[in-house]
A and B are shown apart, each in its own frame.
Chain A
């Protein structure tokens, strides 16, 4: 049974939600509306005149091969980040779920990276993998890898994916561990008696029972990779070398704040907003109703 508060006055409930509504309206809907309006406008280079251009900013974007490349790049990044951090976090969670000595300690340690701010994560990895200063770079060189993420776009991309995925592992780990612990022990024991070896048990029983968690995290990770990697990219590569690590969010920043093309930047933001809405919609639709079982 749901608890329901009963209010005497009709005004009180509205007054209680008003602060929340005000925050959402002022800090979310208002800027969002501004972005939508801005995306229909074209400003000259000095900001002296502004003209209403309908969908020209959008059309320009879709004709621009650089924008298309950024879309592909962003999806590739998101996919790589989500898959690598999810699979590694799942591996860690499965191992941490075993009744071992000191499990509380290393569970706590595994959660720590989440508390590190993205730009700090970026700086840490940049130093570790800096071509001339990095500790890890020396080993890579010793293994014969021509390691220089400052010049090589693919290596820079790998670096971003590595740092972004590393940061997200803690979050995923936490959810996976909770998911694993919510699977009744007797179900796994029943599978063991039913003759399923550990690997088969994992893929036929544990993995399907985790699928709601996996799907939830997949969406969360894609959203993270889309939007929250800005800090990491900004500190590590600033979108470079060339445009090799410029994602959609980073492009909004470079085109708008650095390039001064506010109209196009606003149009890009609106497109990103649509993507978030779609992802959130998917999340609500499937996660809320539980996947598979």
Chain B
């Protein structure tokens, strides 16, 4: 049991490339922290720095009240689950789990108890004598989990552990990991590029971009009050609609938009209606595409007037395109002209550079 604190942690490679540009994160005892961001944002590097697999070139990493910058991975009392599982291919499932315990000189009887307990929890008991190559992807993933939990470490580290599984298994394992972590109550840091995984697992969500933290907080708070346009478009699927506020169509309508340069509206906050909303937004759209998901329908519309685009971030809409979510399976037809409105309290206002949320 321990908390993990990162204090202005930096990573600069010998070539001068700055992978991590000063990150501060505080993960409380027993909390589940998820680092999320697009590929290349430094989230995996950061996790490997906590594990001790990458050197720290600036700042401090503190695990359970001890600065571990110079401590070997073995002595940090952490366990890690790798993306490719990194099981020892020449050892049986039992030995894979027992290896870390044997290295620490634990008695065989105690090892047996712990491994069998972990195997029971993870439903691996019938396959303890098998080699990793005789297991399916999901089973290998569970062995990797087992190897981590038998050690009873202070901290679990997960490096995209579910990305090699198929979609259905991924959801099942996601729930398993969360349940297991709640029961063991072990501090965890989890890296993923999947925003849905991040939203569902996290107690604390850390959104990263370009080696920096964009926002830290409770997943729902981040969803409801994204601090930057990057967070706004990265968290949530389909992404938030972001539009420049310069256009007369918008500025004339939105109340109290002083200092704001960009307005963001989530697809589900739109209503197709002919009513006028005072202080809110109304957009005239031509329907270009429709996606039926079953419980809901996504309408892709283009705005009549060409707008100057907001700087494009990953997952963001092309300028001029707007997504509207309609509940149920009924929606407008392609080519139809609709009017989408959103009330004032559903609008997210950002400064023109997208780096700051404007109050209100």
Residues of chain A at the chain B interface (Cβ within 8 Å):
184, 186-187, 189-197, 200, 204-205, 208-209, 211, 292-293
- Some 17 contacts from A to B, beta carbons below 8 A apart, are A189-B82, A189-B86, A190-B86, A190-B147, A192-B72, A193-B51, A193-B52, A193-B79, A194-B103, A194-B151, A195-B104, A196-B103, A204-B99, A209-B90, A211-B90, A293-B89, A293-B133
Residues of A within 8 A of B151 (CB): 194
Instruction: Assess whether B90 is in contact with A292, with CB atoms less than 8 Å apart.
Output: yes
Q: Does B22 contact A (CB under 8 A)?
A: no
Minimum CB–CB distance from A201 to chain B (whole Å) comes to 9
Minimum CB–CB distance from B100 to chain A (whole Å) comes to 4
Beyond the given A193-B52, A200-B103, could you list 17 further A-B residue pairs with CB under 8 A, ordered by the A residue number? A186-B84, A187-B86, A189-B73, A189-B80, A190-B88, A190-B147, A192-B52, A192-B53, A192-B72, A193-B73, A194-B74, A194-B103, A196-B99, A205-B88, A209-B90, A211-B90, A293-B89
Minimum CB–CB distance from A133 to chain B (whole Å) comes to 48
In-complex Cβ contact of A184 among B52, B80, B84 (8 A): B84
Nearest B-chain residue to A208, judged by Cβ: B90
Chief secondary structure at chain B's binding surface: loop
Complex CA distance for A196 and B101, rounded to whole angstroms: 10
Within 8 A of A (CB), among B52-89: 52-53, 72-74, 78-80, 82-84, 86-89
Instruction: Assess whether B88 is in contact with A193, with CB atoms less than 8 Å apart.
Output: no
Complex CA distance for A187 and B89, rounded to whole angstroms: 9
The listed residue with most B CB atoms (<10 A of its CB), out of A190, A192, A196, A209, is A190
Complex CA distance for A178 and B5, rounded to whole angstroms: 40
Instruction: Assess whether A194 is in contact with B147, with CB atoms less than 8 Å apart.
Output: yes
In-complex Cβ contact of A193 among B80, B84, B87, B90 (8 A): B80
Render B104-116 as a binary contact track against A, CB cut-off 8 A, 1 for contact: 1000000000000
Minimum CB–CB distance from B52 to chain A (whole Å) comes to 8
Q: Does B131 contact A (CB under 8 A)?
A: yes
In-complex Cβ contact of B99 among A184, A191, A293 (8 A): A191
Complex CA distance for A204 and B91, rounded to whole angstroms: 10
Which 4 A-B pairs give the minimum distances between C-beta atoms?
A194-B100, A186-B86, A293-B90, A195-B103
Instruction: Assess whether A186 is in contact with B73, with CB atoms less than 8 Å apart.
Output: no
Complex CA distance for A142 and B73, rounded to whole angstroms: 48
Instruction: Assess whether A196 is in contact with B73, with CB atoms less than 8 Å apart.
Output: no
Complex CA distance for A193 and B78, rounded to whole angstroms: 7
Complex CA distance for A90 and B225, rounded to whole angstroms: 58
Instruction: Assess whether B89 is in contact with A195, with CB atoms less than 8 Å apart.
Output: no
Residues of B within 8 A of A204 (CB): 99
Minimum CB–CB distance from A15 to chain B (whole Å) comes to 42
Given contacts A195-B104, A204-B99, whether A190 and B90 have CB atoms under 8 Å apart is: no
Residues of B within 8 A of A209 (CB): 89-90
Render B147-177 as a binary contact track against A, CB cut-off 8 A, 1 for contact: 1000100000000000000000000000000
Residues of A within 8 A of B147 (CB): 190, 194
Complex CA distance for A204 and B99, rounded to whole angstroms: 9
Residues of B within 8 A of A187 (CB): 86-89
Minimum CB–CB distance from B146 to chain A (whole Å) comes to 12
Residues of B within 8 A of A194 (CB): 74, 99-100, 103, 147, 151
Residues of A within 8 A of B86 (CB): 184, 186-187, 189-190
Minimum CB–CB distance from A192 to chain B (whole Å) comes to 5
Minimum CB–CB distance from B149 to chain A (whole Å) comes to 13
Nearest B-chain residue to A200, judged by Cβ: B103
Complex CA distance for A85 and B72, rounded to whole angstroms: 33
Residues of B within 8 A of A186 (CB): 82-84, 86
Minimum CB–CB distance from B25 to chain A (whole Å) comes to 20
The listed residue with most A CB atoms (<10 A of its CB), out of B51, B84, B103, B147, is B103
Minimum CB–CB distance from A88 to chain B (whole Å) comes to 24
Complex CA distance for A187 and B80, rounded to whole angstroms: 11
Instruction: Assess whether B131 is in contact with A293, with CB atoms less than 8 Å apart.
Output: yes
Complex CA distance for A96 and B133, rounded to whole angstroms: 29
Nearest B-chain residue to A190, judged by Cβ: B86
Complex CA distance for A23 and B88, rounded to whole angstroms: 46
Complex CA distance for A192 and B74, rounded to whole angstroms: 6
Complex CA distance for A193 and B76, rounded to whole angstroms: 8
Minimum CB–CB distance from A142 to chain B (whole Å) comes to 44
Instruction: Assess whether B74 is in contact with A195, with CB atoms less than 8 Å apart.
Output: yes
Render B41-54 as a binary contact track against A, CB cut-off 8 A, 1 for contact: 00000000001110
The listed residue with most B CB atoms (<10 A of its CB), out of A194, A196, A293, is A194
Nearest B-chain residue to A291, judged by Cβ: B90
Complex CA distance for A4 and B73, rounded to whole angstroms: 50
Residues of A within 8 A of B104 (CB): 195
Residues of B within 8 A of A197 (CB): 74
Nearest B-chain residue to A201, judged by Cβ: B103
Residues of A within 8 A of B82 (CB): 186, 189-190
Nearest B-chain residue to A292, judged by Cβ: B90
Residues of B within 8 A of A191 (CB): 88, 99
Complex CA distance for A187 and B91, rounded to whole angstroms: 12
Minimum CB–CB distance from B14 to chain A (whole Å) comes to 10
Minimum CB–CB distance from B324 to chain A (whole Å) comes to 44
Residues of A within 8 A of B131 (CB): 293
